[in-house]
Structure 1
Amino acid sequence: MRHRKLTAALGCTEMRVNTVTLDPGESTAPHAHDRQEEVYVALDGGHVRIDGTKYEVPAGGLVRCGPDAVRSVHNDTADGSQTWLMFGAPPLGTVDDFGEYRMPEE
């Protein structure tokens, strides 16, 4: 998984911007943000899981994740990487951390 933090490079002050590229079989860790809303753009399509429900997202599709929702993105294909653009607001934490990022208890 490749994670690029773009917030500082873009000079953003009111949101955070990242890209995540997943190789086949990879996924991000399920997590939530206490006060941060996120919007994901599936550049190549893929799957997102929100509060335990899995959704297929077509290429160019958008997904909103509300605060407190446990979310993760998945590349369930056997070949080809998938890239997601991720926008978060308000910009909690710093560019070096995820701000109020928490992992759900299993």
Structure 2
Amino acid sequence: MNRNGLPLAFEDPHGDSVVIPQDSSESWWQPQPANGHAEVILSPRNIRSVHKFSVGTQTLPPGGTVRLHSHDRSEEVLYVLEGEGAAEVDGKKARMAPNTTLYLGHNQTHTFTNDGTVDLKWVWFFMPGGLEDFFEGIGRKRATGEPAPVPFARPADVKEIEAKTVFAKS
């Protein structure tokens, strides 16, 4: 919101600027089958922007899988930082390796698996935001540097969490 209580607009004198120091963002351990963790660096929770979005990282340990899903009202970009894995986007297979970029338009089904021997880590950019609400809803709060928990199940109400956040109806 701008100083008049209205959504931020390009007509406002300027937008926000923030610097997020390393290891100071919200982070959530993720349940099975993904395991690993997601970090939320920027979102409507900590910035005002004309176009709503969120950005963060996700780390998938060896053997971890982000289940097949889609987003009916969102667009997503992934940029792989480290590790290797397999992606399937709308039925097409692709490799994930450092410097690989994936654009996932609305209603494009996608899944990712770390089939390597080290963590697979990517930056995610999500418009119009909301992925942070899902990560929080299904995850457990994570502190930087703490050891990974014993793998844990998805919450019993995961379908309700998905419906309230950014996932297409399945």
Give the Cα separation in 2 of the matches to 1:36 and 1:84.
Answer: 18
Contact 1:17 1:88 (C-alpha < 8 Å) held by counterparts: yes
Give the Cα separation in 2 of the matches to 1:103 and 1:76.
Answer: 28
Structure 1: runs of 5+ lacking an equivalent: none
Structure 2: runs of 5+ lacking an equivalent: 1-35, 135-161
Query: What root-mean-square deviation, in Å, do the aligned CA atoms of Structure 1 and Structure 2 show?
Result: 2.3
More strand per residue = 1
Amino acid at match of 2:133: D
User: Which residue does the alignment assign to 1:96?
Assistant: 133
**Higher relative contact order, chain-length normalized (CA < 8 Å, sep 6+):** 1
Percent identity, aligned pairs only?
Answer: 25
Give the Cα separation in 1 of the matches to 2:102 and 2:131.
Answer: 23
User: Which residue does the alignment assign to 1:6?
Assistant: 41
- Return the match for 1:69 from 108, 116, 119: 108
> Quick one: structure 1 residues 54 and 10, their matched pair in 2 at CA, closer, same or farther if it must change by over 3 Å?
farther
Deviates more, 1:6-15 or 1:23-32: 6-15
Q: How many residues are treated as equivalent by the alignment?
A: 102
User: Which residue does the alignment assign to 1:38?
Assistant: 76
The structure 1 segments of at least 4 consecutive aligned residues displaced by more than 6 Å after TM superposition are none
The offset of 1:73, in angstroms, is: 1.8
TM-score relative to the length of structure 1:
0.80
Larger radius of gyration: 2
SS at the partner of 1:35? coil
